[in-house]
Amino acid sequence: MSTHPLEEILNPKSIAVVGASEDPNSQGNRFTKCLLDCGYQRKIYPVHPKATEVLGLKAYPSIRDIPDPVDYVISCIPASAVLGMLDDGSQNGVKCVHLFTGRFSETGRLEEAELEQEILNKARKTGIRLIGPNCLGLYYPRLGISFMGDLPRESGSAGLFSSSGGGSGFFVHLAALRGIRFSKVISGGNALDLNESDFLDYFSQDPETKIILMYLEGLKDGRRFVNSLKQAASVKPVIILKGGKGESGMRAAASHTAALGGSTQMWETAVTQAGAISAESFDELADLAVSFHFLPPVWGPRVGVTGGGGGHSVVGADECERGGLDVIPLPTEMREEFKSRGVPIWDWIGNPVDTSITGGSGLTGTDVLQMMARNQNFDLLIAIINEHAPAGREGIIAGHKTEVKGIIKVKKESTKPLLAVVSEKSTDTRNHSYWRWKDLSSVRTKLLAGNIPIYPTTERAAKAAGKLVDYYRKRRQQ
Residues 101-140 that bind its own copies (CB under 8 A): 102, 106-109, 136
Shortest distance, CB of residue 220 to its own copies, whole angstroms? Answer: 17
x-or-dash pattern for its own copies, window 382-421, by CB under 8 A?
----xxxxxxx--x--------------------------
Shortest distance, CB of residue 183 to its own copies, whole angstroms? Answer: 20
Shortest distance, CB of residue 445 to its own copies, whole angstroms? Answer: 4
In the region spanning residues 442 to 461, those forming contacts with its own copies, defined by CB under 8 A, are 442, 444-445, 448, 454, 456-457, 459
Tell me which residue of 246, 245, 236 sits closest to 276, measured CA to CA: 236
Q: Contact between 342 and its own copies (CB under 8 A)?
A: no
Neighbours of 278 (CB within 10 A): 17
Q: Contact between 245 and its own copies (CB under 8 A)?
A: yes
**DSSP SS3 for 154:** coil
Query: Residues in contact with its own copies, total (CB under 8 A)?
Result: 104
Neighbours of 88 (CB within 10 A): 21
Residue 74 CB-half CA count within 13 A = 30
Shortest distance, CB of residue 344 to its own copies, whole angstroms? Answer: 9
Q: Contact between 257 and its own copies (CB under 8 A)?
A: yes
Binding segment for its own copies (CB under 8 A), chosen from 4-12, 46-54, 277-285, 365-373, is 277-285
Q: Which is closer to its own copies, CB of 51 or CB of 357? A: 357
| Dihedral sign of CA atoms 55, 59, 62, 66 in order | negative
Q: Contact between 422 and its own copies (CB under 8 A)?
A: yes
Q: Name 365's Cβ contacts closer than 8 Å, sequence gap at least 6.
A: 306, 307, 353, 355, 358, 383, 386, 403, 406
Q: Which of 8, 321, 337, 470 binds its own copies (CB under 8 A)?
A: 321
Q: Which is closer to its own copies, CB of 249 or CB of 275? A: 249
Shortest distance, CB of residue 88 to its own copies, whole angstroms? Answer: 25
Q: Contact between 78 and its own copies (CB under 8 A)?
A: no
Q: Contact between 438 and its own copies (CB under 8 A)?
A: yes
Q: Contact between 332 and its own copies (CB under 8 A)?
A: no
x-or-dash pattern for its own copies, window 352-381, by CB under 8 A?
x-x-xx------------------------
**DSSP SS3 for 13:** coil
Q: Contact between 146 and its own copies (CB under 8 A)?
A: no
Binding segment for its own copies (CB under 8 A), chosen from 125-133, 292-300, 322-330, 374-382, is 322-330
130 forms beta bridges with: 97
Q: Which of 21, 146, 163, 195 binds its own copies (CB under 8 A)?
A: 163
DSSP annotation string for 192-232: SSS-HHHHHHHHHH-TT-SEEEEEES--S-HHHHHHHHHHH
Q: Contact between 165 and its own copies (CB under 8 A)?
A: yes
The identity of residue 27, as a single letter, is: Q
In the region spanning residues 13 to 42, those forming contacts with its own copies, defined by CB under 8 A, are 24-25, 27, 30
Tell me which residue of 205, 207, 213 sits closest to 178, measured CA to CA: 213
**DSSP SS3 for 159:** strand
Interatomic CA distance for residues 443 and 422, integer angstroms: 8
Are residues 193 and 235 in contact, defined by beta-carbon separation less than 8 angstroms?
no
Q: Name 268's Cβ contacts closer than 8 Å, sequence gap at least 6.
A: 278
